[in-house]
Amino acid sequence: MTTVFVAGANGQTGRRIVSKLVEAGYDVRGLVRKEYHLRDLESAGAKGYLGDLSGAFSDGMKGADVVVCAAGAGTSGDPEHVDHVGTVRLIEQSVLEQIPRFVLISSMGTKDPDAMPSFLKPFLMAKRKAETILEESGLSYTIIRPGGLTNEPGKGKVHAAPELQRHGRVSRDDVAAAVLAALQIRQTHNQSFDLLEGDTPVEEALKGLNGSVPQ
């Protein structure tokens, strides 16, 4: 059974990722910052580990096959502390633990933060630093860059391409579905892609990444 370690497992997107992975039969371990979140993970069928990317967090990583980073500062947190330094610590620990696969939830706009609203620029710049470290880490990586996240029910249909020439939204459910698909589809290895709501089933959209063109 494949073991997946999810950082940020108590977040709005992280909870959905954990749920989909458990439903698909993965052995899921989740990193959370508060003790009461451990019960939530256990109820979802996952094993919880208490920790923080700025401190101790590696116990649950031992023997894992995949790391998924769904941790983020959000619009009210410190992006340099979480989205850059914390994520890089997770990448480095993955290398030390010889975990071969890393999936990072990032954000659209990281490659051109100046084109985005000014309040987002520090977050996008921090995320881009972490993306660069991951790309150079030697790990088999997938970087998913969703648009504006919503809590609407997932439709199971998206647009995915290395660079989408438009902005938009995507549900957290469909981001979680993309994470699950990325673990099963070889075309996502060493790939970075934008993700928006669309009209192509998630698996089909990801399988088409190698031959995709910007839209």
Which residue numbers are catalytic? 107
Q: Which residues contact 57 (CB under 8 A, 6 or more apart)?
A: 7, 31, 49, 51, 89, 90, 93
Please report, to the nearest 10 degrees, the dihedral formed by the alpha carbons of residues 30, 203, 174, 135 taken in order: 60
Contacts for 77 with CB less than 8 Å, ≥ 6 apart = none
Which is nearest to 105 in space by CA: 158, 35, 156, 180? 180
User: From CA 137, how far away is CA 155, in angstroms rounded?
Assistant: 34
Determine the Cα–Cα distance for residues 77 and 148; give it in Å rounded to an integer: 17
Q: Which helix (H) or strand (E) covers residue 214, if one does?
A: none
